[in-house]
Amino acid sequence: MPKVSLDAPAPDFELADYTGRPFRLSEQRGRNVLLVFNRGFV
């Protein structure tokens, strides 16, 4: 995995939010965004 530089823009992506609606990172430009990736245990 490549290193991440400080102050580098995050790549754009789209995921479903907790209600199932699409969430696109690029639509949040200029806002603070906290991303949480839950790790499931099998």
Residue 8: C-alpha distances to residues 1, 5, 16, 18, 26 (Å) = 16, 6, 24, 27, 14
Q: What is the pLDDT along the chain (42 residues), one digit of tens a residue?
A: 678 788 888 889 998 988 999 999 999 988 988 877 777 766
What local confidence, expressed as pLDDT, does residue 34 receive? 84
Query: What was the pLDDT predicted at 24?
Result: 94
Q: How many CB atoms lie within 10 A of CB 28?
A: 11
pLDDT for position 41: 67
pLDDT at 42: 64
**How far is the C-alpha of 23 from the C-alpha of 31, rounded, in Å?**
14
Which pTM value belongs to this model? 0.57
- pLDDT at position 37 is 75
